Structures are given as structure tokens and as C-alpha cells.
A and B are shown apart, each in its own frame.
Chain A
Amino acid sequence: MRKLAYTVLTGLVGAVFLHLAIIFLIPVLAGGRTYAALAPIAGETADALVFAPPRLSGETPSDPAETPLPTVSGNDPFFASRVCAFDLSAGSFRVTSDDAPNFFSVAVLDDRDRVVFSLVDRLALDNRVDLEVLAKAEEGRRRQRQQAGLADPGEALPVFAARDQGLVVVRAFVPDATYAESVDAFLRGITCETIAFGAS
């Protein structure tokens, strides 16, 4: 009887360890599932990666030749999104847009799907997206330039990322179908470009 109790107790302790191992290892092993799925198709030269609100724009993409996008869950159907992937090993990454037709927000995610920076249009200048994602190592250099008065006042909002790879997600509000076209144009018009070291 005592042996059986010991066996069950050992099993329970093992179960606790396995439970914790699974929970703690999922984020490490999965390592950014969304980033892994979207980065290969969200390169700066690839076609605009735009998630349209499915329930406003119809069930099927207008262009059947368009690459089918992976299904992303949890999105608010009143919002359309544009995703750009960045790699800071070659330089900084600048994202710019024209005037937004309505409310928009921006999130910078790292390659582990964690939000490292976010803003809403109220905090953006001139109702436009204009930000530059830089490696954390650039932070000191950038600050020195600012202190030395060398920074251009018109330069993009700097975002310092601890990890080199990630995604920039711009979301725009589509209040009704009449906005679909202008929001689509706004998102597709967003420029995502890598600025090679030494070019700025």
C-alpha cells in the first residue's frame, strides 16, 4: 500500500514538472508562430500584405490569383491590417504612409510575437505613419546625434527593438463599406524599406 502511494506521489510530482515544462517550453519552441508564418510573405518587395476585414469586403478575395493569406484569428472585423517584415541586421527599417482616412494604429512586434512598441494616430504627426525601427545598439548613437543638434527635425519617430527581426503591423479602421477603398489604398500605399547602414 505504501509502495502504491509512493508510486502515485512520484507520478503526481512528475505531472507537475511536465505541466510546467509544457507551459514554459511552448513559447520557446514555437518562437513566434505568427512571425514565422508572415515574415516570408511580408518582405518589403513582396506584394502588400493586407488583411481586409472579411465580413465587410466579402468572402473571397477580389483577385483569385492573389496569394491566399493565412487566417489570422482575433482580428477586429472593423479593421484592415498591413504587415511588413523587417530585419535590422542590414540597416534600419522605415515605414511611411500618406494621410490616413480614419483611425489607425501601429504595432511593432518582435520575432517572438511580442509587442515592443505601439501607437495610435493621435500620437502620430500629421495623421501619417512615419517611424523608423532601429536596433537597440543604435539608441546611444541616435541620442548623441540629437544632443549634438544633428538630428533632422523631420525625421521619423525612432523605435528601438532589442531583437533584429520582427513585423510592423498598421491597422486602419473601416467603419463601413464606403471606407473600404480608401483604407485599402492607404494600407497598400504604405512604404516599408530597409535603409542600409551609412545611407542615413
Chain B
Amino acid sequence: MIRALNTVLSLVIALVLGALSAAVALDRWPQMAGGRSGAWLEAPGIGDPEADPYSAALAQTRLQLPMGEVESSTFIAVADDGGQPLDAACAYRVTGGALPARLFTLRAEGITGEPLVASNQDGPALPPMIHSENMLFAGDGFELTLSAQAAPGNWLPLRSQGRFRLVLSAYDAALSDATFGTSAQLPSIVRLGCADA
């Protein structure tokens, strides 16, 4: 009887911990695996034939069209340079130099990649995204404001609520994935202030 109970207990531990740890690992994998440069994490290599087993498993959890290394390198920031989670109630300044890429796009989206939904009706619902060809550059670099209130220069409207993430995709990057995030200066993200502060 005791032996049977022990076997059942072993099985329960194995099933619960095994399944739970796999789910948590897949959920956290992008934060755990990617190379880090400032606030930016390199997105895991979805679609890479040489991908580690966790990235390969993660790739199969959703429907997506992966991009090749030659096409694009993608970086994700969920926090500012100070380590504070990005919050739509705050305003941020993103400052960067010229990236070694043909073009790059920068967008704000929900923490799991869903589009941000405008939470109020102040002005038109502008999408919070910009690309290097419609951006103003001063010399070699650019400065961009993320805020609910319109700002002069490059502005990304933040008209939603709650946490968000920034996604930077560089296309036809001159350097390979392995060196891009480390040698190239990815933009800095500095919090300017918060509405509720």
C-alpha cells in the first residue's frame, strides 16, 4: 500500500514538475536565451535550422513566418535602460546612432506581440511604429520620443495603457546576427516621466 502511494507520489511529482517547468521554460526562453545589449534582447532564432531545442519548440507554439538571418535581425526591449518595465503611462526618449542595416523599423506592441489598442480618443489612432526612411536624423543619429502627447521631431504615439515592448527589426544588416547586437550600438531608452508619478 505504501509502495503504491510512493509510486503515485513520484508520478505526480514527475508529471506536475515536468510539464510546469517545460511551460515556464518556453514562456521565459526569449528573456533567458537571447544575447543582451543594453535594454535590448535579441529575439530567439525562430526558423533557424541550427536553433537550440527550446527555440525550436517555442517556434512551434505559434503560427509565424520565420525570417532568415540574411533578411533581418530583431531585438526586443521590455524595460528601459534603468531596468524599469516599459509602461504606456510614461514618456521615453530613444536615442540611437546609424545602424549597420539597409533599413530598420521600430514599433511598440503589447507584451506578447499583440497590437496596442488606443485607450482614448485624443486625436487620430496613429499606429506606434516608425521606420528609418521616414525618420529624422541629425548627423549620424536619431532621437525619438515615445509619449501620449505629440512631440516635435520623431514621435511614436503611446495611446494605450499598461506595459508594452519595443521591437527593433534591422533589415539587410551588414553584420551577422552573432555580432550585430554587440558591436552595433542599439538605441538607448530613457524614461522621461510618468503621468501618474
Contact = CB atoms under 8 A, between A and B. Distances in A.
A122 B66 CA distance: 20
B142 interface: no
Interface stretch (A85-93, A146-154, A168-176, A183-191): A168-176
A120 B129 contact: no
Given A33-B60, A73-B64, A11 B13 contact: yes
B10 interface: yes
Given A24-B53, A26-B57, A175 B14 contact: no
B58 to A, nearest CB: 8
A171 B71 contact: yes
B75 to A, nearest CB: 13
B63 A14 contact: no
Contacts of B7: 7
B21 interface: yes
Interface residues of B, number: 56
B65 interface: yes
Interface in B67-121: 67-72, 102-103, 105, 107, 113, 115
Contacts of B71: 105, 107, 118-120, 171
Interface string A149-170: 0000000000000000001010
A15 B21 CA distance: 8
Given A11-B9, A23-B57, A18 B66 contact: no
Contact of A109 (B22, B57, B66): B66
Interface residues of A, number: 62
A69 B129 CA distance: 23
A73 B110 CA distance: 12
Interface of A: 3-4, 6-8, 10-19, 21-24, 26-27, 30, 32-34, 37, 51, 54-56, 70-78, 81, 83, 103, 105, 107, 109, 113-123, 167, 169, 171, 173, 175-176
Q: Which 10 A-B pairs have the closest CB atoms?
A: A118-B68, A11-B13, A18-B18, A14-B14, A15-B17, A30-B60, A26-B57, A22-B22, A15-B18, A105-B71
